[in-house]
């Protein structure tokens, strides 16, 4: 029952919530005064559309994560594309590569915030060029992850033979029944170990570099806002700090939910430690929930959105409480 909940019901519930929260998020953005957000609205729209796409992919291409001795594996759990084939493996690789696209999408938000406080033309009349560059960066990150998974983590014969006991123990099936993306650090031929280290090094380097850019840009933005606070109104300075705070929260969620589980999955098997299945359940669950958690966090972090949402909820509550008193008792 727990397995059905994790792999069948939870992705569908997460997708449904994402399709409720993100349209509300989009509505709040585009019904707010354009003077407050400017072209940043379209970057937030891009983020919301990505969340909606990710939530659907999480259902269509369901994954499972397991570790066995010195190896880690990501497999297609079930669904339309579970059968072993090159096309289905490519879908599995693309599904995992969306994590890389997530970090790229957040990176372009940080760059926009820095350019905005610098009053760059790329955030105003030349915004179409910035948006084009943002899409290119997202596609580039996705492509690097996808190619790395395709060419360095495709489980060949040696890898499949090594993980047979782990697959049998966990699923009761043979490795031929699964598309497997993974690697091993020991007890396998050198070519498998080499490919594993190359894949882990590339993905880790890209991720760490991107997170480092988040930190550097955050510091640059804070320094600039501190210097601006004496030349602009307190209201404008406060709103810019609120946007930065929302962006930091928006960044922290995928780092904790997506990047941290990836690190555990990649590096724990180096020492031969097998992660327990409950942790695998957490990993799979966490990958699917941030498309609706992130927009909620942004809404709650921005007072202008938070006030509108709470005001709407209060009005509903007041209307509901007034209904019984409106009915006159019958004599």
Query: pTM score, two decimals?
Result: 0.84
Residues 54, 291: contact at Cβ < 8 Å?
Answer: yes
- Give the relative orientation of helices 234-254 and 277-301 as an angle to the nearest 10 degrees: 170
Percent of the chain's residues with pLDDT above 90: 9
Angstrom distance (rounded) from CA 19 to CA 51:
9
Q: How confident is the model at residue 176 (pLDDT cuts 50, 70, 90)?
A: low
Burial of 219 (0-12, 13-18, 19+ CB in 10 A): exposed
Stretch 176-191: mean pLDDT? 82
Which has the minimum average pLDDT: 30-39, 67-76, 183-192, 203-212?
30-39
CATH architecture of 2-306: Up-down Bundle (1.20)
* Residue-level pLDDT at 331: 42
Q: How many CB atoms lie within 10 A of CB 26?
A: 18
Strand partners, 64: 75
């Amino acid at each position: 029952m727990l397995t059905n909940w994790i792999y069948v019901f939870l992705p569908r519930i997460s997708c449904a919530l994402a399709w409720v929260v993100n349209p509300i998020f989009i509505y709040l953005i585009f019904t707010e005064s354009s003077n407050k957000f400017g072209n940043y609205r379209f970057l937030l729209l891009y983020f919301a559309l990505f969340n909606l796409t990710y939530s659907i992919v999480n259902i269509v291409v369901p994954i499972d994560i397991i570790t066995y001795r010195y190896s880690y594996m990501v497999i297609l759990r079930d669904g339309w594309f579970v059968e072993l084939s090159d096309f289905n493996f490519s879908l599995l690789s693309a599904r995992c590569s969306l994590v890389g696209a997530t970090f790229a999408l957040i990176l372009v938000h940080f760059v926009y915030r820095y350019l905005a406080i610098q009053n760059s033309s790329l955030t105003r009349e030349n915004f179409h060029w910035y948006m084009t560059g943002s899409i290119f960066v997202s596609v580039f990150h996705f492509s690097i992850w996808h190619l790395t998974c395709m060419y360095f983590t495709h489980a060949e014969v040696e890898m499949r033979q090594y993980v047979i006991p782990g697959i049998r123990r966990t699923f009761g099936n043979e490795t031929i029944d699964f598309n497997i993306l993974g690697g091993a650090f020991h007890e396998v031929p050198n070519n498998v170990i080499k490919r594993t280290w190359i894949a882990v090094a590339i993905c880790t380097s890209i991720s760490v570099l991107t997170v480092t850019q988040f930190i550097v840009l955050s510091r640059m933005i804070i320094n600039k806002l501190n210097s601006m606070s004496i030349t602009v109104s307190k209201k404008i300075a406060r709103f810019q700090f609120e946007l930065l705070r929302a962006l930091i929260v928006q960044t922290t969620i995928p780092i904790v939910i997506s990047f941290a589980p990836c690190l555990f999955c990649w590096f724990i098997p180096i020492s031969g430690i097998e992660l327990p299945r409950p942790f695998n359940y957490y990993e799979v669950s966490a990958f699917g929930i941030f498309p609706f958690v992130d927009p909620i966090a942004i809404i709650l972090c921005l007072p202008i959105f938070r006030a509108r949402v709470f005001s709407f909820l209060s009005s509903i509550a007041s209307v509901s409480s007034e209904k019984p008193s409106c009915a006159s008792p019958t004599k």
